[in-house]
Amino acid sequence: PQSMGGVSVKMFLRGRPITMYVPSGHVGFRPELPPERLQLDWVYGYRGRDSRSNLHVLGSGELIYFIACVVVLLHVPLRRQRHYLRHSDCVRCLAVHPDRLRVATGQAAGVDKDGKPLQPVVHIWDSATLLTLQQIGLGSFERGVGSLAFSCADQGSYLCVVDDSNEHMMSVWDCARGTKLAEVKSTNESVLSVEFNPQDSSSIITSGKSHVYFWTWSGATLTKKQGIFGKYKKPKFIQCFVFDAAGDVLTGDSEGNILTWTDGKWGGNEDTGMGTGMGTRAHEGSVFALCRRRDGTVLSGGGKDRRVLSWSPALSLLQEAEIPERFGAVRTIAEGPGEELLVGTTRNALLRGTLSGGFTAIVQGHTDEVWGLATHPTRCLFLTCGHDRQLCLWDGQEHALAWSLALEDTGLCADFHPGGQVVVVGLLTGRWVVLDTETQQPLAGGSDGNEQLSVVRFSPDGAFLAIGSHDNVIYIYSVTEEGRRYNRFGRCTGHSSFITHLDWSKDGHFIMSNSGDYEILYCECKAGGSRDREWASYTCVLGFHVFGVWPDGSDGTDINSLCRSHHERLVAVADDFCKVHLFQYPCARPKVCKWAGVATRAYLTCMSTTTRMHFHTRVHDTATRVGTLPVHTHPPNPPPPPAGSQPRVRRSRQPRHQRALHPRRRTPGVAGREGHRRLPMAGAGGALPGAALRPSPCRPPHPQNQTPGPKGRRPPPPPQKPFSL
């Protein structure tokens, strides 16, 4: 950023100048480390949609599972979580040592904020102390670690790992020394699981797409036999297998069969195969999980039929139970104390129960990208919505789902009315709906355009609702009857791209908004300057009070979410590089991000884009507690090109919302800017309290805000923009 005579400062994003005016009486800002710290409080959700064998019970009685780059240890009776946080990218697989104390977890490859690759690695760690004991395979694996398993016959001395490279390299490691003992190319097809024979560590099995291989390990050599299905139809996938009490192997496949492979000791070479013995038709659809219980019986979990079946050692059906449809199919099964079973499902839920008594959820989460997040103004509640079309209210005190309901379309944004009784949700189709948080009944709704809504925000007194749309317009509604009645009040126009963020001033007379082409505009309701407004919330990622959070060389999409704390001393920033940064507020000094360890605290969240972030009401002066919802997402919009990389586009005769250009196709001469362009707002509803609505023409941008055109000539200023009244 550059100073402009103490009146304004200018920063650049992808070559586009953005001017921000300094508030009157501003005395400067010294970047210092904020005294507050973030501590991961609770992780809501479980990764069951695309993972396998990721639920186990430790010797302490805690459940262990992973989501994003966090490994969660959950004590169910005490409702307490602990977290292993040493991974730098998404955890892909998990294995528990025979001592039920040590754990091995493997992660995917990734990149850091500078684009440098982060190599996949396996961590072996102590579940009691959460200390890392060994790092295995750094630089040896490609793309990620897909499957791993401890040996059992020798008290867990060895670890077998299969990576996600094209050849799915299979390797055996010494756990104590961290050295590689053997390695071989396993197959070009997907490998879904690997296990040692519990009675013989020289025997290993892998299974996956169209194969089951029986490996013999000797010194530095691994040789295999291929499973021959004989009279049985060769399945597309062998998703799981387990050793029974006799040492035979039971496999579950995509045809719904459980096949028995009777040879317990394997030899020979790759040209010879091993045939299957008995087969049992177990499920309609795939068999996703197999688990041998302490009494020798075997449990199987089905995909399409959602059933959990109990089988005798001879594979006679003993008992069955069906998982409720709302939880999805069975993904994995673990045995708890006594008759208790623990089931992970494909709809990201963890269930606890028995075959005779049924199952209840102990962990629930969204099943697709989460985009909307809102915190209750006074209570320890927060609300989420996303691409799974579910609207969920969470109890932050009990760490549980209070209720959920299905939306008619994808929910992208939400906000509580200041009274806390109602909530508004913006949808992908341009519609919005208002719900009672106690009864979950719809109270009101509307539709503004046919493009997605990106932000909804009530004014501080709850008298107005602002709705930011991808048609470049902010729609204003007057609100009465404690948030139960809405009337169109007016529109704020002037943005040249979709609305990304907006905030109300504390007096409810101004709106500050950001757009996809890095504009900062103000919608005013009475005459006066906007630079000295005090804002009831601060979520806009562009503005004088927060411009210091932007790193050098940012392309404009690096920061996805920003939120100021309730006491107005902190600002938290979620970026594209899996981190939440904590700054002092205001953060109005250039290159604050360069003061590493001095001006910001950074916390790894998950290897996914963080789309929304809010401070909860339960915030303390010395320790800010945060509940996280790690989800797999992608950036909402592609980054625009640098200024000057696209030709000028002529104006169209189409309606404004159709001719509005995406940042990728913006005219290079019209640069991002703060305008102190004030957007008059009026409509049939009258005026805001104390406001004198006067149409104010758009002030043209300062010449210094424009990008030079060909041969050093500056393009003429753009025409004044009309305002819809």
pLDDT digits (tens, 9 = 90+) for 176-188: 999 999 999 999 9
Class for the domain spanning 293-364? mainly beta
Q: What is the CATH number of domain 2-39+367-628?
A: 2.130.10.10
Does 7 score more than 80 pLDDT? no
Which of residues 310 and 708 earns the better pLDDT score? 310
- Specify the pLDDT at position 683: 43
Q: Letter for the amino acid at 424?
A: V
Tens-place pLDDT, residues 379-395:
999 999 999 999 999 99
Q: How many CA atoms lie within 13 Å of 644's alpha carbon, on the beta-carbon side?
A: 15
Tens-place pLDDT, residues 620-650:
322 233 444 444 333 344 444 343 333 232 3
Does 701 score more than 60 pLDDT? no
Which of residues 586 and 242 earns the better pLDDT score? 242
Work out the average pLDDT over 151-179: 96
Which burial class, exposed, middle or buried, applies to 134 when counting CB atoms under 10 A from its CB (0-12, 13-18, 19+)? Answer: middle
Work out the average pLDDT over 39-59: 94
Which of residues 46 and 554 earns the better pLDDT score? 46
Query: Which of helix, strand or coil describes residue 712?
Result: helix
Q: How many CA atoms lie within 13 Å of 530's alpha carbon, on the beta-carbon side?
A: 27
Tens-place pLDDT, residues 192-234:
999 999 999 999 999 999 999 999 999 999 999 999 998 888 9
- Specify the pLDDT at position 64: 98
Looking at residue 641, what DSSP letter applies? P
- Specify the pLDDT at position 612: 57
Tens-place pLDDT, residues 352-388:
999 999 999 999 999 999 999 999 999 999 999 999 9
Please state, for a pLDDT cut of 70, what percent of the chain lies above it: 76
Tell me the pLDDT band of 573, cut-offs 50, 70 and 90: confident
- Alpha-carbon gap, residue 327 to 325, rounded angstroms: 5
Which burial class, exposed, middle or buried, applies to 142 when counting CB atoms under 10 A from its CB (0-12, 13-18, 19+)? Answer: middle
Query: Which two structure tokens, joined as six digits, stand for 102?
Result: 């040590």
- Alpha-carbon gap, residue 686 to 691, rounded angstroms: 10
Which of residues 171 and 507 earns the better pLDDT score? 171
- Alpha-carbon gap, residue 248 to 468, rounded angstroms: 62
Q: 86-100, 235-249, 424-438, 649-663: which has the minimum mean pLDDT? A: 649-663
Report the alpha-carbon angle 84-390-471, nearest 5.
110
The domain limits of the chain are: 2-39+367-628, 293-364
Tens-place pLDDT, residues 403-442:
999 999 999 999 999 999 999 999 999 999 999 999 999 9
Please state, for a pLDDT cut of 90, what percent of the chain lies above it: 59
Looking at residue 270, what DSSP letter applies? T
Rg of the chain over CA atoms, in angstroms? 29
Q: Letter for the amino acid at 19?
A: T
Q: Report the sign of the C-alpha dihedral through residues 527, 529, 530, 534, in that order.
A: negative
Residues 6 or more apart in contact with residue 267 via CB below 8 angstroms: 216, 223, 225
Query: Which of helix, strand or coil describes residue 433?
Result: strand
- Whether 242 and 250 have beta carbons less than 8 Å apart is answered as yes
Does 585 score more than 70 pLDDT? yes
Tell me the pLDDT band of 615, cut-offs 50, 70 and 90: low
- Alpha-carbon gap, residue 551 to 583, rounded angstroms: 13
| Residue 250 Cα distances to 298, 305, 482, angstroms | 9, 20, 61
- Alpha-carbon gap, residue 306 to 298, rounded angstroms: 17
Q: 69-83, 369-383, 697-711: which has the minimum mean pLDDT? A: 697-711
Query: Which two structure tokens, joined as six digits, stand for 333?
Result: 């099964």
Which residues does residue 491 pair with via DSSP β-bridges, in sequence order?
475
594 phi and psi angles, rounded to 5 deg: -75, -15
Which burial class, exposed, middle or buried, applies to 664 when counting CB atoms under 10 A from its CB (0-12, 13-18, 19+)? Answer: middle
- Alpha-carbon gap, residue 454 to 42, rounded angstroms: 27
- Specify the pLDDT at position 599: 46
- Whether the ω angle into residue 31 lies within 30 degrees of 0, i.e. cis, is no
- Specify the pLDDT at position 580: 82
Look-up of token digits 């106690």 = 438
- Specify the pLDDT at position 595: 41
Which of residues 617 and 290 earns the better pLDDT score? 290
Tens-place pLDDT, residues 510-551:
999 999 998 999 887 544 445 567 887 888 878 777 877 877
